């Protein structure tokens, strides 16, 4: 259970960790757009290089980052397979019934997979280098314009931060409950689907009950401290845009420009 890397903050004191979370969000969005604007391998290679530079600058081991692909491995294989078998092209290597394996199909599948991988890696870099609190502060700040149309931005940010905060708590809870039921002879580490369903109930029922209890207690605790949302509320940590953020902005802009130029001057899709 502890191996789930999504949303797990990896503490380091690095360039990337110190960036303003808003900047990181913006960078992530720019990066994702760049991945999909890039239509040839040069563009994708540029994106990959930038990501590698980010990982190095964040001083997080590559293996740790790469592990976050595991979650989408099935999706990746499925996408690749579909594209290889169904995308038609000029250079056909093999053909059977409705399936076609062509050069274009292979290249397209490869491109799509690399895109997906970059997408996941870059997103997990955000959660690796940003604490949940900073993350929600960033979201709240970026969504401020929506307050003008009375959208409850603060409440949304609060819900998000509580949800993020509760992930590790509930994971620990699952571990505890699993251990307790294991001690009572539950065999949780194997068996087929039917057996798995049978062993889920003794874990799920206590888990849901404890989550509900926690939610109620948290609500009471907030009420007891007169929590009123964001009315008259100041921030303990103000977000500031510093020189590091300027560097990140420039890198993002350079990447975007580069990718667009590559698209214009090297229009050959592969």
Partner 1 sequence: MRIVAEHLSYTYNARSPFETAALRDVSLTIEEGEFFGIIGHTGSGKSTFLQHLNGLIRLPSSLKHAKKQKKGGAETVLRVGEFDLTDKKTDFRALRRNVGMVFQYPESQLFAETVREDVAYGLKNFSPDMSEGEKNDAVRAALEVVGLNYDALKDRSPFELSGGQKRRVAIAGVIVTRPEVLVLDEPAAGLDPLGKREIMELLHRLHREWCRTIVFVSHDMDEIADNCTHVAVFSEGTVRYVLPPRELFARADELAALGLDVPLTAKLCAALKEQGIAIDCDLTAEDFADKVLSFAREKGRIA
Contact 214, 169 (CB under 8 A): yes
Nearer to partner 1, 195 or 235 (CB): 195
Residue 181 sits in the site that holds partner 1 (CB under 8 A):
yes
Residue 59 sits in the site that holds partner 1 (CB under 8 A):
no
Query: Length of the chain in residues, anyone?
Result: 270
Residue 168 sits in the site that holds partner 1 (CB under 8 A):
no
Structure-block tokens of residue 217: 């207690």
State the number of binding residues for partner 1 (CB under 8 A). Answer: 23
CA-based nearest residue to 218, from 175, 165, 168: 165
CA-based nearest residue to 206, from 176, 227, 237, 232: 176
Contact 121, 68 (CB under 8 A): yes
| CB of 9 vs partner 1, minimal distance in Å | 10
Q: Contact region for partner 1 (CB under 8 A) — 95-103, 107-115, 119-127, 178-186?
A: 178-186
Nearer to partner 1, 77 or 204 (CB): 204
Residue 128 sits in the site that holds partner 1 (CB under 8 A):
no
Residue 190 sits in the site that holds partner 1 (CB under 8 A):
no
Residue 134 burial (10 A CB sphere; 0-12, 13-18, 19+): buried
Q: What is the CA radius of gyration of the chain?
A: 23
> Of residues 18, 70, 147, 176, which one binds partner 1 by CB under 8 A?
176
Residue 179 sits in the site that holds partner 1 (CB under 8 A):
yes
* Per-residue binder mask for partner 1 (CB under 8 A), 206-235, x = binder: x--xx-------------------------
| CB of 68 vs partner 1, minimal distance in Å | 15
Nearer to partner 1, 173 or 230 (CB): 173
Q: Contact region for partner 1 (CB under 8 A) — 24-32, 36-44, 157-165, 204-212?
A: 204-212
Residue 91 sits in the site that holds partner 1 (CB under 8 A):
no
Q: Contact region for partner 1 (CB under 8 A) — 110-118, 183-191, 239-247, 253-261?
A: 183-191
> Of residues 205, 215, 222, 246, which one binds partner 1 by CB under 8 A?
205
Binding residues (CB under 8 A) for partner 1: these are: 2, 10-12, 176-177, 179-187, 201-206, 209-210
């Amino acid at each position: 259970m502890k191996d789930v890397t999504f949303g797990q903050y990896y503490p380091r004191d690095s360039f990337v960790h110190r960036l303003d979370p808003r900047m990181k969000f913006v960078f992530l969005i720019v990066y994702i757009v760049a991945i999909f604007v890039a239509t040839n391998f040069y563009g994708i290679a540029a994106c990959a290089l930038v990501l590698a530079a980010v990982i190095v600058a964040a001083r997080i081991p590559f293996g740790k980052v790469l592990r976050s692909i595991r979650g989408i491995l099935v999706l990746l294989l499925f996408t690749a397979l579909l594209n290889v078998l169904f995308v038609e092209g000029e250079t056909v290597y093999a053909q059977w019934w409705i399936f076609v394996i062509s050069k274009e199909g292979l290249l397209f599948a490869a491109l799509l997979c690399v895109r997906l991988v970059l997408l996941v890696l870059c997103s997990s870099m955000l959660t690796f280098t940003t604490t949940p609190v900073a993350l929600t502060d960033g979201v709240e700040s970026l969504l401020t314009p929506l307050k003008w149309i009375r959208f409850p931005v603060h409440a949304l940010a609060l819900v998000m931060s509580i949800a993020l905060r509760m992930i590790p708590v509930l994971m620990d809870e699952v571990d505890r409950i699993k251990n307790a039921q294991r001690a009572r002879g539950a065999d949780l580490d194997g068996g087929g689907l039917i057996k798995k369903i049978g062993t889920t109930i003794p874990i799920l029922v206590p888990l849901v009950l404890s989550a509900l209890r926690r939610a109620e207690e948290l609500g009471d605790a907030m009420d007891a401290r007169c929590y009123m949302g964001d009315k008259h509320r100041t921030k303990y940590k103000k977000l500031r845009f510093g020189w590091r953020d300027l560097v990140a902005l420039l890198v993002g802009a350079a990447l975007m420009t580069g990718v667009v130029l590559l698209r214009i001057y090297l229009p050959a899709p592969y």
